[in-house]
Structure 1
């Protein structure tokens, strides 16, 4: 039955989303590095007034092993209200959950019990390959005309090009490859858009062989990983322009466009510079009718005793920050930057996006520091703030500690563990000491991306200011 009123979690504007009710559940992708038990979606209670606050209250195992859950997203969101591609009777009901290593895509229904999602469909790798020509599905965005799934690899063993597969909003059938004209684009990673301006932006990581067994030093030092942003005609599905950040800036990953649909800028995170091991954040924007990008944040590496470092970075005598995720609050004021290598989460005031101002920092984990959570001061932690998710009202920030199985093992060879933390973001930027699921809470799996019930800062696009 179609809905006669739009889903109440669809908001026409960022202001309306910020004013909506707070989330009560968080969905967290968790995977088994050994591929011996099924990966899962863990459901956590994030209602501070609940007796089970901070605990895993639901657990949905997937039907196979070896998927390596990574990023996932909703089937529909506030973009359904956009006049250019309206789907006002869709529901934010299904989680679209790709397996990055298996190339399967799972569809989980969060009704009737939001704490017990049910697997209702599995799109096999063969269907994704046959209908879209892709493998290794990575990022999911609900958008105009369907569900957009970026993929890192090509079909039938081809390394690439990677790109975007389009899925139907309701049947979840693979419709086609999104690109009508990809131009020079070959590497893929994230994709998002300025929906009111008909512009899609995509970024670059590497092909499957470049990532699946860990960082390949020869490729990194040879500057072969992705280092460009691509700009596209969203409705025409055509490549318009490449903006190269410079090949010293390796792995241009997460994209966070302004939520205000009247704005035409966004932030991109770069993992590492091969010149000095620094990490950076770039601002893309228009200049004289063309897209360009400006480095607005640079984070230096931290000197360290080589004996304390894993072999992959021992020769450098320093810990790279490794910016592996960024997130922008819905009001476009705060940018959160995760430094997975040094174990730091930074907050910046980006009210003036060209001139970010440092506005808080916390430490947890880290290759050398192993900083504990305040709730467990005697427990050294591996990993670091990795995936970052921000509540719609901007008051709560959730982080998990695992990056990607093979990369975890390289940078934390003694084990990355499993933990999740929450920060309160207001005048102060501090840990919530009541919220620290870790260790056995994740049943031996490693937590990665978080999605919040009713949407979050990296789920929705808005068409009204």
Structure 2
């Protein structure tokens, strides 16, 4: 991919013409750069850049396109040379992490808008359009801001955003900083576009929101599955704006879950939510060192997709600490034939 001036590939999507498009987060020197490489769908030969010359963004991460509206939305993480050794708040102050989402013309490959979400939208990661192809709207989860923004097309034809969910930080002691953000790392929308799910990788919970009213998501389910504020850990919560007790350790089939809920995938019928615990090895090592020693896990929650609600299935566990060559860190989940986070409806 270096011939495209790109490195650090992240998100891949198949295109209608048979090509594969991969979004990248850096350049070959480890600096931040958001661009897109096109691959031949059969040979995997790198064909060149998707974006127009000069249209690469300062940072890259995820993207999702919707041909019916001739639009693509992309997001930002940070400069690979900064994030590769773990998270450092000083790097945020130095401008090495992103705060913007970008709107692209799907046909011409031109960048139309860059929308800066500011401090509350710091590090916008996963982006999801509604699955209904006529709907010109979706959501983006912002990790450091611990927020979810709705993006949508206006009557004028341009795009804008609104803040619809904010998870408050907790005042703590015994941790790296005096306040702990929730760190929203993955979001998912059910295939019927009724529920939004996201994971709080530091706080350790998964949340389910009813998004029938698109501008006013309503919390209807929550489950703690590990995380940094477990009641028997080193961290003590001094002040919690949500007034919740520190959760007990999460134990499944005799194994204590190390790490916290991270990547999500939902069954097509919306009744089983799967989750893995590894984010990125350098950050795993920094925040959950025991997970590197013991391996990550995959868990499953039973979903009430009528009234809302999520409950951990205590009979399901995939333990990646028991791989033949030692513990591994499991990340993304995919269904063969398509799923809630990879299918794009035309």
Shorter-normalised TM range: 0.7 to 0.9
The 1:393–1:181 alpha-carbon spacing in structure 2 relative to 1, beyond 3 Å, is farther
Q: 301, 307, 320: which one pairs with 1:423? A: 301
TM superposition shift of 1:169: 1.8
Unaligned runs of 5+ in 1: 1-127, 274-278
SS in 2 for 1:295: strand
TM superposition shift of 1:222: 4.2
1:456 aligns with 2:339: yes
1:289 matched residue in structure 2: 157
The 1:198–1:181 alpha-carbon spacing in structure 2 relative to 1, beyond 3 Å, is farther
TM superposition shift of 1:184: 6.6
- Counterpart CA distance in 1 for 2:161 and 2:53 is 23
1:263 aligns with 2:135: yes
- Counterpart CA distance in 1 for 2:93 and 2:287 is 17
1:231 matched residue in structure 2: 103
2:58 matched residue in structure 1: 186
Conserved? CA contact 2:34–2:56, under 8 Å: no
- Counterpart CA distance in 2 for 1:331 and 1:436 is 27
- Counterpart CA distance in 1 for 2:331 and 2:152 is 30
State how 1:320-331 maps to structure 2 within 5 Å.
Answer: 320-331=181-192
The 1:182–1:330 alpha-carbon spacing in structure 2 relative to 1, beyond 3 Å, is farther
State how 1:132-147 maps to structure 2 within 5 Å.
Answer: 132-145=4-17, 146-147=19-20
Conserved? CA contact 2:320–2:330, under 8 Å: no
Deviations along 1:141-173, one digit per CA (max 9) or x if unpaired, are 112332111111123x26242311111122221
Structure 1 stretches (4+) deviating beyond 6 angstroms? none
TM superposition shift of 1:186: 1.9
1:432 aligns with 2:313: yes
The 1:133–1:221 alpha-carbon spacing in structure 2 relative to 1, beyond 3 Å, is closer
1:219 aligns with 2:91: yes
1:152 matched residue in structure 2: 25
SS in 1 for 2:55: coil
- Counterpart CA distance in 2 for 1:359 and 1:345 is 11
Conserved? CA contact 2:188–2:341, under 8 Å: yes
Conserved? CA contact 1:187–1:204, under 8 Å: yes
TM superposition shift of 1:413: 3.7
- Counterpart CA distance in 1 for 2:190 and 2:15 is 19
State how 1:316-465 maps to structure 2 within 5 Å.
Answer: 316=178, 318-369=179-230, 371-373=248-250, 375-376=252-253, 379-415=255-291, 417-426=295-304, 427=307, 428-442=309-323, 443-463=326-346
TM superposition shift of 1:382: 2.2
- Counterpart CA distance in 2 for 1:217 and 1:250 is 12
Unaligned runs of 5+ in 2: 234-247
Deviations along 1:229-288, one digit per CA (max 9) or x if unpaired, are 100011111000111101453211000111111000011010123xxxxx1000001223
Conserved? CA contact 2:30–2:81, under 8 Å: no
SS in 2 for 1:446: coil
2:237 matched residue in structure 1: none
1:13 matched residue in structure 2: none
Q: Report the number of matched residues.
A: 321
Once the two structures are overlaid, the 10-residue window that deviates more, 390-399 or 179-188, is 179-188
Q: 197, 205, 209: which one pairs with 2:81? A: 209
State how 1:55-204 maps to structure 2 within 5 Å.
Answer: 128-130=1-3, 132-145=4-17, 146-155=19-28, 157=29, 159-183=31-55, 185-204=57-76
- Counterpart CA distance in 1 for 2:197 and 2:54 is 31
- Counterpart CA distance in 2 for 1:263 and 1:320 is 31
TM superposition shift of 1:187: 0.8
2:239 matched residue in structure 1: none
Conserved? CA contact 2:30–2:80, under 8 Å: no
Conserved? CA contact 1:223–1:248, under 8 Å: no
Higher relative contact order (CA 8 A, sep 6+): 1
